[in-house]
Amino acid sequence: MSGIYIHIPFCKQACFYCDFHFSTSLKKKDELISCLVKEIKLRKGELNNKTVETIYFGGGTPSLLSAKEISILIDAIYLNHKVIEFPEITLEANPDDLSNQKVIELSKTPINRLSIGIQSFFEKDLKLMNRAHDSKEAKESLSLASRYFDNISVDLIYGIPGLTDQQWKQNIANALSYNIPHISSYALTVEPKTALESLIKKGKIKNVDEDLAQKQFYILLEELEKVNFVHYELSNFGKEGFFSKNNTAYWLGKSYLGIGPSAHSFDGSIRSWNCRNNSKYVNEIKQNKLPLERETLTNIDAYNEYIMTGLRTIWGVSFAKIQTNFGDNYLAYLKNASKKYIKQELLYFDNDKLKTTKKGKFLVDGIASDLFMLN
């Protein structure tokens, strides 16, 4: 099984924290959509006849597209790739795009899962992050969407300067009040060359507090555990039957095809990525060229990637898989390197699998990098 990701590189305005590829000019939208369709055709054979089980519209802001434009892209996938009977088809959406008419139109397309970028229900947080929607639109979008879609995910951000623990609990409670079966939640991160970094350096916004973020991360774990959400990946929580199939495929190392500017692809051994420039992307595709770069993963790359993704999930890192795929030396290295984290109760063994304890979850990226095999 494989997945297809489509990157829609347009936004109404730039969120201060975002470092994804996008443009706030929609002048080339029609032209770019035509090129997305063409890229889908040009890369028809890349999945090696594997069946597509997930289609994911990310961005940017995919909800800026009309229902008709979304259907055109989905139709192109069906024309050029084998798709299972009931694929998971996700659309990332911003609350300000989800009018009553838009939600009804989307419900009539093959889209069957919405991922809504709420981030916070508090006006001060939304303004601090320069989100395009307000608190009222956040609530209205969930009320509307939940009438027409059963499978909805909400994005929430913690560790926002000035966000109290009580307000964070209220954000979680607000999301749950709409019977949402999935939540993706991230710490506010200061990425290089973003507006957020600049504003912090100028003293206009307080810097993020890692201790605050860590505390609110554990509040999130506790609150969602009470209502039977499964913490199946570091940033993702779902009711049984509502885990993101698209993201789970990434973490389990399945192949996927990335369409659009800046989109990444992976076939099991080769990783590729398209250019981060809309004009260049359009010009290359028009000439039947793929505007991408490729790299073949070394054994060390593949091992390190498995450690990083495995420890972030409830499935952990399988010693049997390490031995089979990488050999005895890698297994011995991992067992030795992980000893100190087991002693600190940050990692533990579970049926021959190395997993992260509740205490170690917030620190997992740093732990994983310390277990990497160096060149």
Higher pLDDT, 272 or 47: 272
Give the pLDDT confidence score for residue 252 in this predicted structure. Answer: 87
Pair 238, 304 in one domain: no
Closest by CA to 286, choosing from 72, 42, 44, is 42
What pLDDT sits at residue 26? Answer: 86
Domain that holds residue 25: 2-251
Is residue 306 one of the residues assigned to a domain? yes
pLDDT of residue 250: 87
Are both 308 and 244 inside the same structural domain?
A: no
The whole-number pLDDT of residue 287 equals 97
- Asked if the model's pLDDT at residue 375 lies above 80, the reply is no
Is residue 43 in some structural domain? yes
Residue 253: what pLDDT?
A: 86
pLDDT digits (tens, 9 = 90+) for 203-223: 999 999 999 999 999 999 999
- Are 185 and 309 contained in the same domain? no
Domain count, the chain: 2
Same domain, 74 and 151: yes
In this prediction, residue 156 carries a pLDDT of 98
pLDDT higher than 90, residue 118: yes
pLDDT number for residue 10: 94
Residues 133, 33 share a domain: yes
Q: Residue 330: its pLDDT value, please? A: 96
- Residues 327 and 178 grouped into a single domain: no
Residue 282 lies in a domain: no
Q: Are residues 352 and 246 in the same domain?
A: no
Does a structural domain hold residue 277?
no
Q: What is the pLDDT of residue 113?
A: 98
First to last CA, the chain: 32
CA distance 61 to 74: 17
The count of C-alpha atoms lying within 13 angstroms of the C-alpha of 162, restricted to the half-sphere facing its C-beta, is: 11
Q: Percentage of residues in the chain with pLDDT exceeding 90?
A: 92
Tell me what pLDDT residue 22 has: 85
Kindly state whether residues 219 and 364 are assigned to the same domain.
Answer: no
- Residue 323, C-beta contacts closer than 8 angstroms, at least 6 positions apart: 330, 331
Average pLDDT of the residues in 114-125? 98
Is 137 in the same domain as 195?
Answer: yes
Does 244 share its domain with 350?
A: no
DSSP 4: E
189 and 328 share one domain: no
212 and 119 assigned to the same domain: yes
Please state the rounded mean pLDDT for residues 120-134. Answer: 96
Question: Is the pLDDT confidence value at 319 over 80?
Answer: yes
Q: Is residue 41 part of a domain?
A: yes
Each residue's pLDDT tens digit, 132-175? 999 999 999 999 999 999 999 999 999 999 999 999 999 999 99
Cα separation, 317 vs 310, whole angstroms: 5
Looking up residue 360, the CATH number of its domain turns out to be: 1.10.10.920
Write the CATH number for 68: 3.80.30.20
pLDDT of residue 52 exceeding 80, the answer is yes
- Residue-wise pLDDT tens digits, 61-113: 999 999 999 999 999 999 999 999 999 999 999 999 999 999 999 999 999 99
Query: What is the strand order of the sheet 236-238 is part of?
Result: 230-233, 236-238, 182-187, 152-158, 113-119, 83-93, 52-59, 2-8, 256-259, 264-266, 270-274, 292-296
Q: State which amino acid sits at residue 92.
A: E
Domain boundary among 251, 275, 310: 251
Apex 65 CA angle, 64 and 67, nearest 5: 130
3-class SS of residue 163: coil
pTM of the model: 0.95
